[in-house]
Structure 1
Amino acid sequence: MDENALHVAARAGCLTIVEFLVRFVTESLMCDMLISAKSNNGDTALHIALKEKHEDVAFYLLSVRHDVSFDANNDGVSPLYLAVEAGYCELVTKMLESLSCPSKLALMYGAKSLVHAAMRAKRRDILGIVLRQNPRLIELRNEEGRTCLSFGASIGFYEGISYILSDFDKAASSLCYVADNDGFFPIHMAASEGHVRIIKEFLKHCPDSVELLNNQCQNILHVAAKTGRSKVVNYLLELDEEKRMMNEQDVDGNTPLHLATKHRHSMVVNILTWNENVKLATMNNDGFTALDTAEALKDNAYILRKRLTWMALVSAGAPNGPKQIPLDRVSPSLIHNPEIYKDSFHTTLLW
């Protein structure tokens, strides 16, 4: 069926009309039917009130019938999920109070992403309420195969990650070693998004997670270099006492320097090239050094970034490999004279 009168009133946020409609059918057997009635996409009036952020209407509908909180719509989303996502702490508490068996919460259709919803809302208090009902919810993944730690790392929710790692130590620590559908571990997600503080939290609880590789055999420095996260790169270079991460090669033979070069992150290239332990002459599986990679960039997009990246390599004395690059793939303006570019490169970065 399409939307009924209660759906329309809930969408408008008109509490007076919602109360009138419920009272009108209370004396008949139609009250439960009205509250639980669903629209074409499976939404009850409670779904709609929460989607439209009408908290007062949602509270009233909940007081009339509690069990509708756990009914999922056609997208698998329950009113409880929407309340968590909206950050309605008191409403979430009321909904969970009506749950007779908290251990079944993880099995309820529509309840699978409650922890992820709390993480998305960045509400530490609601996260605690949900996990106290059923700690096993931290084990669940979302549609991308991400655990709550991976998802929290991707959005930079430090407080939530710190809480989970501290209060659910053993179970949470094991999640640090669970990869998502793309082969990324939580610490890779933190590196990709530039969250140094979260990386430190992961290493505090799981020190050896620094050695994890994604499905491209890339360490966290590879990931940070590829995405241009200069603060993460600086931190990881200080952390890399064994000088292993900075020169490690991925499945294509690329070092972090190759990846920063390929993606034209001149600031990261500058940081890496002026670290005396980074090997500038390492060749990837194509036989290219980082400088070869810079000179082989064919497209004309991001010309300034491309030039700055090349200048950073040349000014640091990065060499070409023995493999000849076709002349038509090298810009005629790229002249190999490091002294010309040293001052201009650093001046450009400061500017």
Structure 2
Amino acid sequence: MDQRLLEAAIMGDVVALDDLLKEDPHVLRRVSLSSRAETPLHVASLAGHVGFVRKIMELLVSSFAQELSKDGFAPIHLATAPGHLEVVRELLNKGDSDLCLLKDKAGRTPLHHAATKGRIHIIEELLLKCPHQKAMEQVTPNGETVLHLAVKNSQFEAFKVLFEASEKLEDHEERVNAKDEEGKTVLEIANATNQVQVSISLICCSSFC
């Protein structure tokens, strides 16, 4: 990647990007053809520069939004983990709807990352923009549902949002009773880690009643 382009992405400098494009209209195209996986969209998404992300998405939606970095993450994964809501929103608004279900190298979707980190506002945004059924039914290679991930990472508020979303779906009971690769349900994990609020929610508000 052009050093000036990299620096512009790191700083979120849209003016510098415009200047580069005037000087070389194909500077972004060359990035998309290079062997290096990182793009300016990856860099700006991780840094939370929504204006820069918006500009890139207007220019090159299809070529950058779906690409995985050398570490195996798409821009939406990189924006989700640190909680850059406006960047996630921009990517979802301007990108392909399949971004909601895009898996990283480890087989995790943006909703998996949001559940793990407890990014409630991003969870709500993803559920708003993505088909609930498809987003909620995705499991990790370890057989973990989004409920598993929230509980394993002690993210009770995220668990509540996801549990309420799950209740509206036909396969709610199946999801609540699902076992990860170690054969553990969400309730078993909650009990083992003394997450009383989660246990009470599951017992009182689900099929365990």
Q: Give the TM-score normalised by structure 2.
A: 0.84
Give, in whole Å, the separation in 1 of the partners of 2:154 and 2:70.
27
Mapped to 1, the partners of 2:13 and 2:182 lie a distance apart of 48
* Aligned pairs, number: 198
Aligned residue in 1 for 2:199 = 273
Which residue does the alignment assign to 1:223? 149
| AA partner of residue 145 (structure 1) | G
CA distance, structure 2, for counterparts of residue 252 and residue 279 of structure 1: 21
Once the two structures are superposed, the pairs formed by residues 216-255 of structure 1 within 5 Å of their partners are: 216-241=142-167, 242-255=172-185
In 2, the alpha carbon distance for the partners of 1:90 and 1:220 equals 40
- What's 1:139 paired with? 66
Could you say if the C-alpha distance between residues 92 and 228 of structure 1 is closer, same or farther in structure 2, counting changes exceeding 3 Å? same
Partners of 1:93 and 1:111 in 2: CA distance: 22
Q: Distance in 2 between the 1:106 and 1:175 partners?
A: 18
Once the two structures are superposed, residues 118-144 of structure 1 have per-residue CA deviations (whole angstroms, 9 ceiling, x without a partner) of: 112211111112222322211211122
Q: Distance in 2 between matches of 1:109 and 1:94?
A: 25
Distance in 2 (alpha carbons) for counterparts of 1:166 and 1:98: 29
CA shift, 1:254, in A, is: 0.8
Residue type of the alignment partner of 1:114: P
Q: Identify the residue that residue 200 of structure 1 maps to in structure 2.
A: 124
State whether residues 80 and 95 of structure 1, in contact with CA within 8 Å, keep that contact through their aligned partners in structure 2: yes
Paired with 1:240 and 1:109, the residues of 2 have a C-alpha distance of 41
* Counterpart residue number, 2:75: 148
- Classify 1:110/1:218 alpha carbon distance in 2 versus 1 (closer, same or farther; 3 Å): closer
Kindly indicate whether the alpha-carbon contact (under 8 Å) linking 1:106 and 1:112 is maintained by their aligned counterparts in 2.
no
3-state secondary structure, aligned to 2:81: helix
Question: Contact conserved, 2:37 with 2:67, CA < 8 A, in 1?
Answer: no
Q: State the structure with bigger RCO (CA 8 A, min sep 6), 1 or 2.
A: 2
Relative distance call for 1:257 and 1:86 in structure 2 (3 A) is same
Q: Matched residue of 2:8: which SS?
A: helix
User: What SS does the corresponding residue of 2:181 show, helix, strand or coil?
Assistant: coil
1:3-47 superposed Cα distances (whole Å, 9 cap, x missing partner): xxxxxxxxxxxxxxxxxxxxxxxxxxxxxxxxxxxxxxxxxxxxx
- The equivalent of 2:15 in structure 1 is 90
Aligned sequence identity (%) = 22
Rounded Cα–Cα distance in structure 1 between residues aligned with 2:191 and 2:22: 55
Paired amino acid for 1:132: E
Which residue of 2 is the match for residue 31 of structure 1?
none
1: CA distance between counterparts of 2:207 and 2:39? 42
Aligned residues: CA RMSD: 2.2
Post-superposition Cα deviations, 1:243-270, rounded to whole Å, max 9, x if no partner, equal: 33322211211112333455x3x4xx21
- Hey, what's the Cα distance between the residues in 1 that align with 2:64 and 2:31? 8
Q: Which ranges in structure 1 are unaligned for 5 or more consecutive residues?
A: 1-69, 72-77, 281-351
Given the two structures, how large is their TM-score scaled by the length of structure 1?
0.52
Contact 2:57 2:91 in 1 (8 A): no
Question: Hey, what does 2:110 align to over in structure 1?
Answer: 186
Would you say 1:162 and 2:50 are equivalent positions?
no
Q: Distance in 2 between matches of 1:258 and 1:96?
A: 55
Q: Tell me which amino acid in the other structure corresponds to 1:118.
A: A
Check whether the contact 1:191–1:220 (CA below 8 A) recurs between aligned residues. Answer: yes
Q: 1:180 to 1:214 in 2, by over 3 A?
A: same
User: What are structure 2's unaligned runs of at least 5 residues?
Assistant: none
Using the TM superposition, give the Cα deviation of residue 177 of structure 1 relative to its aligned residue in structure 2, in angstroms: 2.2
Equivalent position amino acid for 1:190 in 2: A
How far the C-alpha of 1:157 sits from its partner, in A, is: 0.9
The residue type paired with residue 106 of structure 2 is D
Name the CA distance, whole Å, in 2 between partners of 1:220 and 1:81: 34
Task: State the Cα distance separating 1:272 from its structure 2 match.
Answer: 2.2
